[in-house]
Structure formats: C-alpha cells, structure tokens
Structure 1
Amino acid sequence: MKHTKMVVLDMAGTTINEKNVVYKTLHKAIKNAGVAVTLNTVLAYGAGKEKHQAIKDVLAHLNEANKSSSAIFEDFKILLDEAYKTLEVSPINGVEKTILNLREKGIIVVLNTGYNRKVATGLLEKMQWKKGQHFDALITADDVEKGRPNPDMILKAMQLFNIDDPATVLKAGDSAIDIEEGKNAKCGITVGVLSGAQTKEQLEKEHPTYILDSLATLETVL
C-alpha cells in the first residue's frame, strides 16, 4: 500500500455533526410538495449527493418525477437558510484532533461535499474551522460540473496539489456514494464511517477498504 499523501473527507456526518439538519430539511421540502416520503428514503437515495440531484433521485425512486424538482429545491434552500440561523454545529467527537494530527504529519486534508459553497462555508464558520489551520482546501458541488458519484471533486483536489497518483489518496465519507466517488477516482483507500447518514449494511454494498465508527480512529488505518 502506497503512502497516503492526501485525505479527502466528506463534511456532514463525517467531520461535522449538524444534527442531520440538511436531510431533515430536504425531507420537509419534498413533503411540502405533497409527496409521501420517509426520512430513511431521503437518506437512502439522497445522502452525499448534490442536493438538487438528491431531490430528483428521491422523486424518481418514488415514481413522482412529475413533481417539479426545481420548485422543491428552491423551497429547500429557503427552509435551510431559516434552519441554519439557530443551528448549533460541532466537529464529530475526536475528528478535529485527527485532522490536526494528519496536517502535522504533512498529509493534505481536503474537505469535499455535496453542499453548495454557501452552505459549506457557513458550516465551517460556525465551527471556526480555518483554511490553512484545519484543512488545506474545500471542494464543493459548486466547483465541478458533475457531482458524486463522479470523481470530479477528488480529481480537482489532486490537481490543486499536483498529486498524480490516486493510489496515494484516501477518501472517507458516511454514505455509499462517498465510497463510490473514491473508487471512481481510483483512490488507494476508501473509508466508510458510521457517524452519519447511512448504516454499515448500506456502506458495505460499495466494499470500502475499511468501515470505522468515526474518523476519530482514522489514523489506525494509515
């Protein structure tokens, strides 16, 4: 196994505990459009994806493609802005220590997310995480044409830091689509974590290299 030069870490549910507010809000917006849907279905078919795409995929699964995904997405953004005004967010236990240790060892830490840049930046500001201290780069759904499971966000991160060999990159996330993204980028290691959206059984379907309770123990596999 090659030495890991860079880790690409998902945000909500992987590095950040935001109490699942995004998926709860997505669930609410879809229900507001008159669609009968459970939060578990939203998590199963929407977790980790760019959020408009997540809405489309949930509607397609429910045979509700006649509903306007654009209108639901607009409602979702308004609801999320409201939810964020009072939301408290924090790093998942032990994760801040992990990423600071990785950076101290010279490993590049990139955060990537299916959120847009506005939402992602707002979360980081609430936690007072700073570029150059806690992480080296933030890559969001706004920064690429194709979101997960396409590898574009990881490839962009590699390009940013002149990394040619994906075998030296580790990708970690709390949803199966994170693992799929890592495999599509040909990452040397893919890690599923149980601190967020999906279950061990859902993660196992994509055959990650490791499944951990959380990123707090990530250094044990490096």
Structure 2
Amino acid sequence: MELAVLDMAGTTVADDGVVIRAFDEAATTVGLPTEGPDRDAARRYVLDTMGQSKIEVFRALFGDEERAQQANVAFEQAYQSAAGAGVRPIPGAAEAISDLRDAGVKVVLTTGFSGTTQAMLLDALGWTDIADLVLTPGPGVRGRPYPDLVLTALMRTGVDDVAKVAVAGDTASDVVSGLRAGAPMVAGTLTGAHDEATLRNAGATHVIDSIADFPSIILSH
C-alpha cells in the first residue's frame, strides 16, 4: 500500500458527541421543533448519515437550499465552539499516522466538515503538519458516500493505482466511499458512529477496534 485515506471525527479524532449537539443547535436555528417525531427522525437521519458532507445532509433534511445553508452555517459555528477545547486524538492515532509515514505510506486526512472546521480541528490537536494532505468536500469534490475524496487524495499525492490505496473510517459512508473508489482495503473502526454490523453490511473488508490497529494491517498486506 502506498496511500492511506483516513477519516477524522470518530476515526482519528474523538469529539464526545459534539456533532449531535451541534446539529440540535442548527435544527433549532432553522425552526425544527425541539421535541417530537420530526426532531427524532432528523436526529436518526444525522446518525445514519454520519461521515457525509454536512451540507448534503441538511439539503436532504430540509429540502430548501436557503434553509440548508442557514443550518450548515449554524452547525459549523456550534461545532467549532463546542469542539475547539474538547477534541482529542483517538488513542494511538498520531502514532499510527507516524508509523505509516515512516514506512513510506502517504497519509491523507478527510472529513465531511468544511475546510474551516477541519483547520480548527487540526490546529486544536497540534496536527497541522501530521499528514501529507488534508481534504474536505468542495467545488469539484463531492463528500461521502461519493468516491471523490479518496480519488482526489490519490491524484494529489501522485499515487498511480487505486489498488495501492487503503481507507479507514468509522461510518458506513466512509466504507461505501472507499469501495466506490475501488480501494481494495476499506476498514471500519469501532471508535465512532457505527457498530460492527453496520460497517460489515456496508462492505468493510476489515473491522478494527481502533485506527491504532490499522498500520499493522496495511504494512502486512
């Protein structure tokens, strides 16, 4: 393997459920009732679609572009306020990234958050130089479950074959994105949003307790 594409929140970064709290603030901002079946259904959808681009999640939930954009801005602000002081690395994550890079494997960190929120997370963790590249959805790069983040990582790092790419994430969307890109190794981690059954049903080739276990799988492949 020459490239490892790793998710952030839930895979390499712990944020103690800030995503759902930020979603609740965003949903309230755009007028979703604070209690009741509509709020419960929206929370369930957010959990089911963890890992996807947040603006796409809000578009699906609210249907209206202006309302989705308003919710996305409120979400990003709430997430950044809550997560800035509370995020921390998943135990062993920094060491795993270092081990991969020391072995000559390029590492790209990806997220469904905006570039601004990703930069905040990296700065809070002291990770601004930890990876070869960091990526978020944006113009010409769709978020998960599309394959764009993985394929963009491949192109921008100069790796010449998707058969040399390994992907790891904690959600079904991470797994589907890696499989759609054609990566032969797509691991689900049990430190985030989705359980083993969900990850395996999505098609994960491996399910691991933590990203700390990922280098030994890649380097023995």
TM-score by length of 2: 0.87
Task: Report the counterpart of residue 221 of structure 1 in structure 2.
Answer: 217
The amino acid that maps onto 2:72 is: F
CA contact (8 A) 2:106 2:132 kept: yes
How far 1:31 sits from its partner (Å)?
Answer: 4.2
* Distance in 2 between residues matched to 1:110 and 1:188, nearest whole Å: 17
Please show how residues 41-120 of structure 1 align to structure 2 within 5 Å: 41-44=45-48, 46-57=49-60, 59=61, 65=63, 68-85=67-84, 87-120=85-118
The amino acid that maps onto 1:8 is: V
How far 1:22 sits from its partner (Å)?
Answer: 2.4
Question: Number of residues paired by the alignment?
Answer: 210
CA contact (8 A) 1:170 1:190 kept: yes
The amino acid that maps onto 2:47 is: L
Q: Secondary structure at the match of 2:109?
A: strand
CA contact (8 A) 1:143 1:153 kept: no
Task: Report the counterpart of residue 132 of structure 2 in structure 1.
Answer: 136
The CA RMSD measured in Å over matched residues stands at 1.9
- Runs of 4+ off more than 3 Å: 38-41, 64-67
Percent identity reads 30
Unaligned runs of 5+ residues in structure 2 are none
How far 1:107 sits from its partner (Å)?
Answer: 0.6
CA contact (8 A) 1:144 1:153 kept: no
Q: Secondary structure at the match of 1:208?
A: coil
Task: Report the counterpart of residue 37 of structure 1 in structure 2.
Answer: 39
Structure 1 residues 165, 21: CA separation in 2 closer, same or farther (over 3 Å shift)? Answer: same
Structure 1 residues 165, 42: CA separation in 2 closer, same or farther (over 3 Å shift)? Answer: same
Among candidates 172, 178, 197, match of residue 174 of structure 2:
178
Unaligned runs of 5+ residues in structure 1 are none
* Distance in 2 between residues matched to 1:210 and 1:15, nearest whole Å: 17
* Distance in 2 between residues matched to 1:31 and 1:41, nearest whole Å: 16
How far 1:141 sits from its partner (Å)?
Answer: 1.3
CA contact (8 A) 2:6 2:12 kept: yes
* Distance in 1 between residues matched to 2:5 and 2:58, nearest whole Å: 25
CA contact (8 A) 2:145 2:176 kept: yes
How far 1:143 sits from its partner (Å)?
Answer: 5.8
